[in-house]
Amino acid sequence: MEKFEVHILGCGSALPTAHHMPSSQVVNMRDKLFMIDCGEAAQLQMRRSKLKFSRLSHIFISHLHGDHCFGLPGLISTFDLLGRTAALHIYSPAGLESVMRPWLNVFCRGLAYDVVFHEFDDKASQQIYDDRTVSVTTIPLRHRIPCCGFLFNEKAPLPHIRRDMIDFLKIPYHAINDIKQGADWTDYEGRLWPNAKLVFPPEPARRYAYCSDTCYLPELSGQLQGVDLLYHEATFTHDDEKRALETAHTTALQAATLARDADVGQLIIGHFSARYVSDGVLLDEAKTVFPRTILANENLCVKL
Amino acid sequence: MEKFEVHILGCGSALPTAHHMPSSQVVNMRDKLFMIDCGEAAQLQMRRSKLKFSRLSHIFISHLHGDHCFGLPGLISTFDLLGRTAALHIYSPAGLESVMRPWLNVFCRGLAYDVVFHEFDDKASQQIYDDRTVSVTTIPLRHRIPCCGFLFNEKAPLPHIRRDMIDFLKIPYHAINDIKQGADWTDYEGRLWPNAKLVFPPEPARRYAYCSDTCYLPELSGQLQGVDLLYHEATFTHDDEKRALETAHTTALQAATLARDADVGQLIIGHFSARYVSDGVLLDEAKTVFPRTILANENLCVKL
């Protein structure tokens, strides 16, 4: 299986505690890194998780609250000190560039690489990133300010060559790539071998969804249907449902209900309020509805 | 002795490493806290050092480089979430307010307390803070941008009452404070007891100096003469003197030379470059000139 991992750098809510850092995570897709949210000290956590700075060129910011953004200046500055020349792309709802540029002008004068801001409409789902192996689509959420989650859609991996058939038919090396892409083969006696005889089917393409911060949106189960891994905020227990509503956050029970309704492979809950001494209460609550739930934690790595 | 402690929160240089955080420290003066510099994650380090946020109302910023400032937004935001109402005073060279205000307007909208910026002239030493127990004076430094260190001058503590004399002369409780302040006492037979017979002398007032970032300035030995504790940057070893000059930093040997010439009580070196695998080389170098040197380290507390 090609590498597709999620590294949690921080899974606390706005108030950092002794246990949890503010929101940030890194998706490792075949050794290309994508950051989601960049709370204070994200760069320090990235170093602790032994993730290579040079492999990160795309950062997705869900919304313009400090606990999702305050790590940006330090990260951008460190990249510069390390001699970065490749452009850094930052995707966010409107308003980030106008607040970041003056800081970069003061604190990162003469930056040797480009920081390119891409501001997206937060109202409708849209594809904001695409390369050979993955595309990223926004998931419009409902929070106190414009906010979107992100859906990472792996491109269908290539099928596996059947070595026995390659050897048997003496297929030359230069033809392999075409066969992986779906070509048939005509052997030296003129017989046609259909592609299906030459390859084993690939693993199915995987999907990862990040939803934070948001109130409970049952209608998301459509867009999230069948994703392999869902990270969803579960700031409060259901006892605090009123507080969750007021602050536009989700309870553990609600996150699990969404995971069940969307029939996801696994649920990670995070963005824990500082009020709970132990996150175990949140996990126990979620598991009553969706047993395949785990707790986010700093430096946790989840493989898809 | 009244409490006078320095807590190191971060003592790395611009590039954070697995070992060191960016610059920040807290001076605890009789349980009133003063922060010096506020690098990224200073609030997290403050929590780790178990220092109470509510006791901090004054922050001194040496200069406007990111590794001394990037922790401010997170700290200010956390104070708000914790329900702070007391004003927060931030002292710095010119330019901090104009870069911070737009961030506060976006990320800390409706802040329930005042952030008051005090910008000082970096060219000449001046007193920028004063209360009953301490005053703070700037120490003009020479760096790539305007930069000052800070000298914490404890006010002379009050003398200690001689309990034996108080009992012998039956001096009433309400008179004690006047005697501590220097008053004589006339006993019930009309005899005058001079103040010196009624008290033991107080401990001498103590001084702490913070000098970072700066190139080596031998002339500082005047202003720093006899301070009890000096924190001085020692970014490089003397082998890298050329690099130190180019970047306006100090070598460990130079920091120790200044400590010796100023005849300080103790030297803490910090602001270590990320290039050294072990800080021990910097300590060894400094000790050849000034044996009463120690290494700064995260969460180290030094008592004066």
Non-local (6+) Cβ contacts of B237 within 8 A are B251, B252, B253, B276, B281, B282, B285
Residues B246-255 have pLDDT tens digits of: 999 999 999 9
Average pLDDT, chain B: 96
The domain boundary residue, chosen from B171, B200, B229: B200
CATH number of the domain within which B97 lies: 3.60.15.10
Selected residue of B70, B78, B82, B145 to mutate for chain A interface (largest A Cβ count, 10 A): B70
Whether B31 is catalytic is: no
Phi, psi of B168 (to 5 degrees): -60, -40
**SS3 state of residue A137:** strand
The domain boundary residue, chosen from B200, B224, B252: B200
Average pLDDT, chain A: 96
Strand segments, DSSP code E, in A243-291 are 266-270
pLDDT band at B17 (very low <50, low <70, confident <90, very high): confident
Residues B127-170 have pLDDT tens digits of: 999 999 999 999 999 999 999 999 999 998 889 999 999 999 99
Of A67, A81, A107, the CB nearest to B15: A81
**Type of residue found at A14:** A
Residue A19 has pLDDT above 90, yes or no: no
Peptide bond preceding B164 in cis form (omega within 30 of 0): no
Residues A166-217 have pLDDT tens digits of: 999 999 999 999 999 999 999 989 999 999 999 999 989 999 999 999 999 9
Query: What span, in angstroms and rounded, lies between the C-alpha atoms of A299 and A271?
Result: 14
Q: Are residues B103 and B225 in the same domain?
A: yes
Other Cβ atoms less than 10 A from the Cβ of A23: the count is 33
Between vectors from CA A279 to CA A274 and to CA A284, what angle results, nearest 5°? 140
Residue B197 has pLDDT above 90, yes or no: yes
Q: What kind and span of H or E run contains A232?
A: strand A229-233
Q: Are residues A55 and A72 in the same domain?
A: yes
Q: Are residues A193 and A278 in the same domain?
A: no
Q: Which of A247, A249, A252, A281 is nearest to A268 (CA)?
A: A252
Q: Which residue of B has its CA nearest to A108?
A: B66
Residues A208-254 have pLDDT tens digits of: 999 999 999 999 999 999 999 999 999 999 999 999 999 999 999 99
Q: Are residues A88 and A212 in the same domain?
A: yes
Q: Which of A7, A53, A1 is nearest to A28 (CA)?
A: A7
Q: Are residues A127 and A187 in the same domain?
A: no
Residue A125 has pLDDT above 90, yes or no: yes
Peptide bond preceding A213 in cis form (omega within 30 of 0): yes
Average pLDDT over residues A279-291: 97
Other Cβ atoms less than 10 A from the Cβ of A119: the count is 16
Q: Are residues B137 and B175 in the same domain?
A: no
The pLDDT, as a whole number, for residue A157 is 86
Residue A118 has pLDDT above 90, yes or no: yes
Selected residue of A13, A21, A38, A40 to mutate for chain B interface (largest B Cβ count, 10 A): A40
Q: Are residues A50 and A187 in the same domain?
A: no
The pLDDT, as a whole number, for residue B253 is 98
Peptide bond preceding A263 in cis form (omega within 30 of 0): no
The domain boundary residue, chosen from B145, B171, B200: B200
Residue B103 has pLDDT above 90, yes or no: yes
CB contact under 8 A, B14 and A70: no
Catalytic one among B67, B122, B213, B279?
B67
Chains A, B: CB pairs < 8 Å: 88
The pLDDT, as a whole number, for residue A244 is 96
Tell how many helices (H) and how many strands (E) occur in chain A.
Answer: 10, 18
CB contact under 8 A, B107 and A69: yes
Alpha-carbon distance A257 to nearest alpha carbon in chain B (angstroms): 29
Alpha-carbon distance A1 to nearest alpha carbon in chain B (angstroms): 31
CB contact under 8 A, A103 and B103: yes
Q: Are residues B95 and B183 in the same domain?
A: no
User: In which domain, by residue range, is B131 found?
Assistant: 4-157+203-303
Structure tokens at B112: 């329930």
Q: Are residues A15 and A104 in the same domain?
A: yes
CB contact under 8 A, A78 and B15: yes
Query: What span, in angstroms and rounded, lies between the C-alpha atoms of A63 and A27?
Result: 18
Residue B19 has pLDDT above 90, yes or no: no
Phi, psi of A185 (to 5 degrees): -140, 135
* A161 close to A199: Cβ distance less than 8 angstroms: yes
The pLDDT, as a whole number, for residue A200 is 94
Residue A259 has pLDDT above 90, yes or no: yes
Query: What span, in angstroms and rounded, lies between the C-alpha atoms of B247 and B170?
Result: 65
- Known catalytic residues of A? 67
Distance of CA B117 to the CA centre of its chain: 18
CB contact under 8 A, B70 and A21: no
CB contact under 8 A, A66 and B16: no
pLDDT band at B29 (very low <50, low <70, confident <90, very high): very high
CB contact under 8 A, B15 and A44: no
Chain A residues with CB-CB distance to B81 below 8 A: 14-15
The pLDDT, as a whole number, for residue A1 is 82
pLDDT band at A17 (very low <50, low <70, confident <90, very high): confident
* A197 close to A211: Cβ distance less than 8 angstroms: no
How many independent structural domains does chain B possess? 2
Q: Are residues B278 and B135 in the same domain?
A: yes
Q: Which residue of B has its CA nearest to A48?
A: B18
ipTM score of complex: 0.90
Average pLDDT over residues A282-294: 98
Selected residue of B37, B40, B53 to mutate for chain A interface (largest A Cβ count, 10 A): B40
Structure tokens at A132: 């050979």
Q: Are residues A153 and A166 in the same domain?
A: no
Residue B263 has pLDDT above 90, yes or no: yes
Of B15, B21, B73, the CB nearest to A70: B73
Q: What kind and span of H or E run contains A199?
A: strand A199-200
Q: Which of A264, A173, A186 is nearest to A223 (CA)?
A: A264
Q: What share of chain B is helix, strand, coil (3-state, %, to 5)?
A: 30, 30, 45
* A100 close to A108: Cβ distance less than 8 angstroms: no
Q: Are residues A109 and A186 in the same domain?
A: no
**Type of residue found at B61:** I
